[in-house]
Chain A
């Protein structure tokens, strides 16, 4: 695991966005070989999306040969609802970049047969050649996507009932009215994300600190599903100082020291312009 610690939210967002940008550029995607990217929603990745849009606008990157797969979507929420994850992705990312709409995949929570939708999604990921880089966040209860505490660590895309914690956390987007928050969602499984070649988890803010501690300093545990990535060969946790507040000083010092050393060692195929990041 790599743990990258930046001073604060904006720097963490920038680091993550640069990482995604550099990975796509290095991959050299083309019509025969698309770069597949898994994407999250929520307040944590917002800054990262803003930065990616900036890099697109300045000509540093194109999403023409990028396929995206979002992690989750509510069940039963109209697609045009301002809080649907379709709306989030359109307003905060897709409408600002040059991605082909046919390559932007989000689970549809309004179909008749939710099971079939989930299976079809797994199928689409397989047909795209698997996910190259899956970007995710973490809930205060340590969940990845909507894999709530108790989710199987080898789960696949499926329907999930949301935990009370999650519903309360989301109420702020629904006028603080708990009754308006959707109670079910479609989500990629822990196993689905584990299949990706590389996983990058964004964690910012003091309210996520305990979850980060549980995810990386305690054991692999289905009550804190992000802990599953301890067993993935290539995971990066990108966080700000506040998110490290529950970690051991020793852990933080180790990874901060690492960052200084490996900054230029990784990504051997970078051009010098990218290396200095």
Chain B
């Protein structure tokens, strides 16, 4: 049956036999899409007297909003922090591969690097929508170089920096341009960092705290100035201590300004964080949990030697996914919360009417069976 032409010529697709994530619950409802966006079928019925052109039988699958990965350093042999000649090709390659994991938008992440790398890489990749070619790029996540020496983790020491001259000038000098940047991770105990936090927040860039030895007071100060994320909670920061919880204390801090939420990234592979610690964080602050991969070049490749920015690392063994919450909460931690963090939840990270139709179809084991971007199927698992 054709759709009503008086409002829009675009075909209407109706996903049937599915459970959709809406209002924090999995509901047995059909999902309607037109023009790359989720459509309100009741309005369609009464206002336009329209109906679906095409029906997709989901055979009982779960439909969740497409996953958003805000921390991914590369994969499949590609390292985003290498100043390769063709950064665009590398990012596009990874963007296409991660569709298989239901990721429809991501922030390519650069670890601490010399200015030359940032100056070369950042201008080459613009924020853009995804499609059949691959997941959409929401902007770079720059993890470093303004981080703590003691908590550098796998970052190269020689390229760490502090705010020497006056904050934002150092930032511009290091990165060159902030045009395609969505997020910056920094250590708030560094002198003059607060003005940087303020300035970056004003420019709409998400400021994240990480790789830091800050105490709770310093972290709270940064949040007051606009910081809203914690990079891989527990890793590369002081451990929780009952007299000074450090950055971890932000999860239950009463100093967070009203109406604001502090989100925190968790690498839920069971290795970076003990599952019990993951559950403590989740129970303390369930609405702030953001699942990230923090994937590196070696993702998707066999064990061996690979690069991570300026360093070389060895990969052994496999990663395991560890769930500690309900299905709905897990799905929201991978879609809704990162969208809220980046301030794009009006169009991504949910299945509300009007949002972009970036979808992932999952079976009951939460394995991805198909991925859609703007209502078009961009990946489907083979038989």
Contacts and interface: CB of A to CB of B under 8 A. Distances in A.
A95 interface: yes
How many B residues touch the partner, as a band? 10 to 19
Contacts of A90: 42, 45-46
Given A101-B50, A101-B51, A94 B45 contact: yes
A101 B49 contact: yes
Contacts of B51: 100-101
A101 B43 contact: no
B30 interface: yes
B49 A86 contact: no
Q: Is the interface of A mostly helix, strand, loop or mixed?
A: helix
A80 B40 CA distance: 11
Interface of A: 79-80, 86-87, 90-91, 94-95, 100-102, 104, 106
B131 interface: no
Interface of B: 1, 30, 41-46, 48-51
B49 A95 contact: no
Contacts of A95: 30, 41-42, 45
Contacts of A106: 46
Nearest to A86: B46
B45 A79 contact: no
A106 B49 CA distance: 12
Nearest to B41: A95
Contacts of B50: 101
A80 B42 contact: yes
Contacts of B42: 80, 86-87, 90-91, 95
A90 B44 CA distance: 11
18 contacts: A79-B46, A80-B42, A80-B43, A86-B42, A86-B46, A90-B42, A90-B46, A91-B42, A94-B45, A95-B30, A95-B42, A95-B45, A100-B49, A101-B44, A101-B48, A101-B50, A101-B51, A102-B49
Contacts of A104: 45
A86 B42 CA distance: 9
B249 to A, nearest CB: 39
A94 B30 CA distance: 13
Contacts of B44: 101
A155 to B, nearest CB: 26
Nearest to B49: A101
A70 to B, nearest CB: 12
Contacts of A101: 44-46, 48-51
- Nearest first, the 7 A-B pairs at minimum CB distance are A101-B49, A102-B49, A101-B45, A90-B42, A86-B46, A101-B51, A90-B45
B6 to A, nearest CB: 12
Contacts of A87: 42
Contacts of B43: 80
Given A79-B46, A80-B42, A90-B46, 11 more contacts: A80-B43, A86-B46, A90-B45, A94-B45, A95-B42, A100-B49, A101-B46, A101-B48, A101-B49, A101-B51, A106-B46
B353 to A, nearest CB: 10
A106 B45 CA distance: 12
